[in-house]
Amino acid sequence: MDYPPWLPQPVNTHQGRLLAIARCVHQLHYREVHHLEKGRVRTFDNLCVGPLQLAAEVLHRSGFTEYSDEIQRFSSFVCDPADFETVAKAKAARDLDRELVRTAVIRLSEEGFGATEEIDWLARQLRAEG
């Protein structure tokens, strides 16, 4: 399947994969919830399950998010989507294990928790590379 022509073409690089994970989580999994003390807050609940937990770890270690609880289930973005490219170019993101990021993209695509077309396209490319 070709990538939809109306969407920006994904970039199959380390930085491009990090951006795809951040955009996917922000678009599909970042939700407003009611916090008992803070009121309405936006958070990413990784449900403590494989692919979402791996995405949360990648986003945290690369500097996109901070965990907001002790068990590292909930996290919040520390930047707006307009700043995602800046974070993806930073040292923490550049130094993050490439295989970890690659695996996170593939697992987000495969395990049925919701992935963007960008993640699905990148995962197909990565699987084809072997």
DSSP string, the chain: -PPPTTSPPP--SHHHHHHHHHHHIIIIIEEEEEETTTEEEEEEE-TT-HHHHHHHHHHHHHTSEEE-STTS-EEEESS-GGGHHHHHHSHHHHHS-HHHHHHHHHHHHHSSS---HHHHHHHHHHHHH-
The pLDDT of 46-63, averaged and rounded, is 97
pLDDT at 100 over 80: yes
pLDDT of residue 8: 80
**Residue found under tokens 């699905």:** 120
Q: How far is CA 121 from the centre of its chain?
A: 14
Mean local confidence (pLDDT), 32-51: 92
Q: pTM for the complete prediction?
A: 0.94
Higher pLDDT, 115 or 111: 115
pLDDT at 1: 54
Average pLDDT of the residues in 102-114: 94
pLDDT digits (tens, 9 = 90+) for 58-87: 999 999 999 999 999 999 999 999 999 999
